[in-house]
Chains A and B, each alone.
Chain A
Amino acid sequence: MSRKTTDRLATGTIYAFVGVVVAILCGLIGYILITGIPDISWHFLTSAATAFTAGGGIRDQLFNSLYLLLLTLVISFPFALGCGIYLSEYAPQNWVTGLLRMAIEVLSSLPSVVVGLFGYLIFVIRFNLGFSILAGALALTFFNLPILTRSIEEALQDVPNLQREAGVSLGLSNWRTITKIVLPIALPGILTGIIISAGRVFGEAAALIYTSGQSAPTVDYGNWNFLSADSFLNPMRPAETLAVHIWKVNTEGITPDAVAISAGASAVLIVIILIFNVGARFLGQRLYQHLTASKSK
């Protein structure tokens, strides 16, 4: 075979593989959207789920998913940021750092159902939190922490060392170099990391079945007192999320329109995750432009 033919063959093979991956992805997303979107209506998004009759919506599940995501990020972001800064900027090359990295790697490959059962034992039972948003958020933090830490570390590592040298040689302290120079430069990358991990958290079901529970009690969306039992903000109430709802409707749903609800809810889930991803890119770019003042030119 001549070199030219080999080259063409190799290129063709690579394109074929890429084509297969893209086809699978488009087919999957397309199928979910095509079967689901007709079931989405304003009524579907804004009414409560029903147990036995048709015509139930996903209002509470949608809100629960977003609220849980927010709480998870509020809890996990500070830890991940600290850990990422440590690993990227301070950690010496020794066995302690090696152990830490390995721990993060292992944690990130834990099956989410294991994280869920662990969360059930420790938060729901031992700490007596019951099935609650808080227990769910803590379990999801376990799940989210390694990925977020890794992506923050990578974003910081992408900042060229010359920038650190410039800061330090100018007489900035280490801390000020990190906060005033390295972090702002890494911010778009960090943001992208947060939003992509948010997508994963948003679609998570297995870790939540045993922690935030499978029921969505009726809550009062006008009650802003998060200590009151029927407030939508109360973190101690059980909360079925969208992903859990899809699982539950499919396994034990007895409403006549279970199939339609599941299809609609899946489409909503996918659309929101797509919005996260597109939003991440857009926001990251905007933020970078803003921070680097590269506007008019």
Chain B
Amino acid sequence: MTAIMTSTDVHLAYGAKEALHGFDLSFKQHEISALIGPSGCGKSTYLRCLNRMNDLLPDVTITGTFKLGAQDIYAAKVDVVTLRQRVGMVFQQPNPFPFSVYENVAFGLNVVGHYAKADLDQRVETSLKQAAVWDEVKDHLTENARTFSGGQQQRICLARVLAAQPEVILLDEPTSALDPISSAKIEQTLLTLKANYSIIIVTHNLQQAARISDQTAFFLNGQLVENTPTQQIFIKPQQKTTSDYLNGKFG
């Protein structure tokens, strides 16, 4: 399988303090890749390099190459807005806009183009179905998305991202604020989605990584320790530190 995103020699510094210390990492198309590691290891920071969300922070220096397909996403001529449409993101805290469910998803759609009303309805429905939240919201499309439960909000956010028709979906600990049942629904959804999308997920939940991912990358102190197929990393990790972390000796 081909790589959808590749990054080489990644360094990132907040001001004078380096947070990512130089590593290579790539992600395969139509797979779920998990990024794991203790808090502060740099996995979320790294994730936010992939859609250039770190650009929003002042005083961040990023070096190395990041590619989406063959395109260098940090090249001068790259349109960040288009990049972020192609590489969507779901955040830790569900953050639907305080508008109706319908409008939330339509925001994602209007990023790609303008649609006739009937077409729009159809696509909103499709996106909500893909995010496995349609049955719960179909009778409440005009209600404020904030009035739904955390798990439903997170799936509405996922639907919003899907509506923008991205190629890659980044998820930054998407279930850490949710209860186990809602988390399971999100996991189930991601497993269905990987047929058509490439998914990169940061998670603190090792079982979650084990359940859904194909490839797992272990970060520690701004370094990539190892990147191994998930089946292997949990049974026979290549590095001793990985084994120590997975066995709960630190972190």
Contacts and interface: CB of A to CB of B under 8 A. Distances in A.
Interface of A: 92-93, 160, 162-173, 180-181, 184-185, 291-297
Interface stretch (B6-14, B24-32, B50-58, B191-199): B50-58
Interface of B: 51, 53, 56, 58, 81-86, 88-89, 91, 93, 95-100, 103, 107-108, 111, 142-144, 146-147, 157, 160-161, 164
A98 B22 CA distance: 37
Nearest to B142: A293
Nearest to B107: A170
A168 B84 contact: yes
Given A169-B88, A171-B81, A292-B146, 19 more contacts: A93-B58, A162-B95, A165-B91, A168-B53, A169-B53, A170-B88, A171-B85, A171-B86, A171-B111, A173-B81, A292-B99, A292-B144, A293-B100, A293-B103, A293-B143, A294-B143, A294-B146, A296-B143, A297-B143
Contacts of B96: 166
Contacts of B108: 170
A282 to B, nearest CB: 19
Contacts of B91: 162, 165-166, 169
B145 to A, nearest CB: 9
B95 A166 contact: yes
A163 B97 contact: yes
B142 to A, nearest CB: 6
Contacts of A168: 53, 56, 84
A293 B107 contact: no
A52 to B, nearest CB: 59
Contacts of A167: 97, 107
A211 B193 CA distance: 68
Contacts of A292: 98-100, 144, 146
B53 A171 contact: no
Which 5 pairs, one residue from A and one from B, show the smallest C-beta to C-beta distance?
A171-B85, A293-B100, A162-B95, A294-B144, A169-B89
Nearest to A92: B58
Nearest to B81: A173
Contacts of B85: 170-171
A297 B137 CA distance: 13
Q: Which interface residue of A162, A168, A171, A181 has the most chain B CB atoms within 10 A? A: A171
29 contacts: A162-B91, A163-B97, A163-B98, A165-B95, A166-B97, A166-B160, A168-B53, A168-B56, A169-B51, A169-B88, A169-B89, A170-B85, A170-B107, A170-B108, A170-B111, A170-B161, A170-B164, A171-B86, A171-B88, A172-B81, A172-B107, A172-B111, A293-B103, A294-B143, A294-B144, A294-B147, A295-B142, A295-B143, A297-B144
B222 to A, nearest CB: 23
A92 to B, nearest CB: 7
A208 to B, nearest CB: 40
Contacts of B89: 169
A186 to B, nearest CB: 11
A294 B147 CA distance: 8
A185 B146 CA distance: 13
Contact of B84 (A163, A171, A181, A295): A171
B168 to A, nearest CB: 12
A293 B81 CA distance: 28
Contacts of A180: 107
Contacts of A296: 143
A118 to B, nearest CB: 38
A1 B93 CA distance: 46
B84 A293 contact: no
A166 to B, nearest CB: 5
A167 B91 CA distance: 12
Contacts of B107: 167, 170, 172, 180-181
Contacts of A165: 53, 56, 91, 95
B84 A169 contact: yes
Contacts of A163: 95, 97-98
B144 A293 contact: yes
B83 to A, nearest CB: 8
A294 B145 CA distance: 9
A287 to B, nearest CB: 12
A93 B56 CA distance: 13
Contacts of A169: 51, 53, 84, 88-89, 91
Contacts of B146: 292, 294
Q: Which interface residue of B81, B86, B146, B161 has the most chain A CB atoms within 10 A? A: B81
Contact of A166 (B51, B58, B157): B157
Nearest to B85: A171
A173 B142 CA distance: 25
A164 B84 CA distance: 13
Contact of A297 (B93, B103, B147): B147
Nearest to B82: A171
Contacts of B160: 166, 170
Contacts of B144: 292-294, 297
A292 B160 CA distance: 17
